[in-house]
A = this chain, B = another copy of it.
């Protein structure tokens, strides 16, 4: 038996998210079906992040165990001949049994993209949330700094979340503009269900003048979901990277 580690990129537009569902097609199911065809085994893959329906990934991290003798670095090529073009294995390698895609992860990086032009874009319609209001990206940057540090993010969990420990550490929350694209990048040791989309929606509300600055700090302190903005649409969100060693940006925060 060998353990294989995959990095997977996908366009989440046409999937019910990462995790296998009984009533809709998820990315996990597609990958498992192709692995079954490739190896002849019934394989369960373990993904680091349960991305929601419509959420994308440039760096979903996945592992599985197999009896197959296919070299680790060849799984990417073999799977990509079978996978649909909106799912690509961009890296594969053999790893040790101490590695678990989800439990070995020490952090994640997510990106949220807004497009604040008068009209929505055509080419970016599946990757950017359109804001008809101009966003004050400098204000959003300042607002986002309240996230940095170790906080109880109870207010940032979707109501259907059942997780008990809502304390997380965020070491990076960056907001940048390039033309009409405003991007939010957050890095932390973990994120509650819908947390990044709630952060994005709140920053959008603050950036368009609909919510008073200080909302994020207030919600961290009160624990009240009502202090925050709406959950931003799934399509703007992309899982960028799963960390198995803390990046320098996280170490800098720790000092």
Residues of A at the B interface (CB closer than 8 Å) are 9-11, 56, 58, 76-77, 80, 85-90, 117-123, 125, 127, 238
Contacts and interface: CB of A to CB of B under 8 A. Distances in A.
Nearest to A13: B123
A129 to B, nearest CB: 13
Q: Which one of A118, A119, A121 has the greatest number of beta carbons of chain B within 10 Å? A: A119
B90 A123 contact: no
A122 B76 contact: no
Contacts of A10: 122-123
A90 B86 CA distance: 27
A121 B123 CA distance: 16
Contacts of A77: 119
A86 B126 CA distance: 10
A123 B9 contact: yes
A122 B126 CA distance: 12
3 A-B pairs with the lowest CB-CB distances in the bound complex, closest first: A88-B122, A9-B122, A11-B122
A88 B120 contact: yes
